[in-house]
A and B are shown apart, each in its own frame.
Chain A
């Protein structure tokens, strides 16, 4: 039985002060984006191209078009933003800085409001990270900023035979006792200042990737930075420098470098619902 007032599980409902807070966050973010020359894009809720947008296609909310071709509700904004800008608007605009403020949907009835920015044709992660930091500053939030490089765990797996399962579960004991050496030093690495010394200890392919982390850390002035070079998460498109903001157990933002139709790009998404939860807790 469905009650008259019932809303589906994991659907979002904001009203009164919560809705105002959401609007204020979106307004603050859009002001920052406009100031730095970003233009807004609103993509269709229905999409033909969401298969690459999620890890498991069972997460897609699927419907059909008039020819019974499969369509999904937007599960991620980045892929459609890139496709529309490069394929559809490619001939009419050469604008490279775009932002969006729109929700994404996952099966069966999950909704997530997101605010995102995409910088096409350049892997300037420092620029998009700077935007995210400015938005957090306006919101008076100081979450932990974790900086990782997805290439490091990939190299460890492919060239140095560290099992993926060990990296996924951050198996401390295995990394420390079974692998040891410089990999153990990577496990203990925490602050950007330690990177220069560590670079002398690790192979050159790893030090190249570590230095990218350091460069990104040095590009921002922020106290709560944690370097996590072994962090592994199967990303849909972030495969290089990667950053994540979190406060207690809530993820507030994910971003980094990626390739979009063989074009370099950088971007991030802010998780509005989690930001609202943190701000409401005070």
Chain B
């Protein structure tokens, strides 16, 4: 029996679709239920950013989570498979009228992804002040809170509607299947067998 943490929303639905295809069974969460028990799997519906925590603490053996969340949190997990769903980019966004200039003596960067942003600028020895925000990141450059933002871009439409543009891609992200290290070693056969089945399904879908 494997417990699988799924992030609420579109990635959960798409992952469930892949499981349906692979195992020829219906895996549907009943209304508002957070646990779905089937013969071989127990699915948990959790918030996107909480998936690594559930897996790291072994409340779930495996989980599905965006690479951007994995990189941001940096927890020690087994990286099993790129499911090639939930694709997005982590980008630097600036005002549409401006050009990206990383040579200014001081830069203010607003972001939810503090660690990704800090690592990116630190690797390039660019001194920045990181301003942590929890939402509406696009607002920051418009009201003078920051010179630029580091944010997730799917189509670029949100930035565009707010007078911003993606200027540089920091990370290409998609949803990954990850595993707890102890679960991986103690349930290796189950997890590798699931990897094989899902890998074949992902390849045929792409």
Known: A248-B58, A249-B57. A228 touches B79 (CB 8 A): no
- Segment at the interface with A among B31-39, B90-98, B110-118, B184-192: B184-192
Taking CB atoms, residues of chain A closer than 8 Å to B185 are: 144, 146, 226, 228, 231, 246
Task: Choose from B78, B81, B188 the contact partner of A226 (Cβ within 8 Å).
Answer: B188
Look across to chain B and name the residue whose beta carbon is closest to the beta carbon of A170.
Answer: B78
Q: Is the CB of A169 within 8 A of B195?
A: no
| Interface assignment of A55: CB less than 8 Å from any CB of chain B | no
Chain B: how many interface residues by the 8 Å CB criterion?
A: 19
Q: Is the CB of B78 within 8 A of A172?
A: yes
| Interface assignment of B72: CB less than 8 Å from any CB of chain A | no
Look across to chain B and name the residue whose beta carbon is closest to the beta carbon of A188.
Answer: B192
Q: Is the CB of A173 within 8 A of B79?
A: yes
Complex Cα distance, B80 from A172, in Å, reads 5
Chain A: how many interface residues by the 8 Å CB criterion?
A: 18
Taking CB atoms, residues of chain A closer than 8 Å to B58 are: 248-249
Known: A226-B188, A248-B58, A249-B58. A172 touches B195 (CB 8 A): yes
Taking CB atoms, residues of chain B closer than 8 Å to A228 are: 185
| Interface assignment of A28: CB less than 8 Å from any CB of chain B | no
Taking CB atoms, residues of chain B closer than 8 Å to A177 are: 199
Q: Convert B162-206 into 0s and 1s, putting 1 for each residue whose CB lies closer than 8 angstroms to a CB of A.
A: 000000000000000000111011101100100100010000000
Q: A166 to chain B: closest CB distance in Å?
A: 9
Q: Is the CB of B188 within 8 A of A248?
A: no
Q: Is the CB of A249 within 8 A of B192?
A: no
| Interface assignment of B82: CB less than 8 Å from any CB of chain A | yes
| Interface assignment of A62: CB less than 8 Å from any CB of chain B | no
Taking CB atoms, residues of chain B closer than 8 Å to A144 are: 182, 185-186
Residues of A within 8 A of B (CB): 144, 146, 169-173, 176-177, 187-188, 190, 226, 228, 231, 246, 248-249
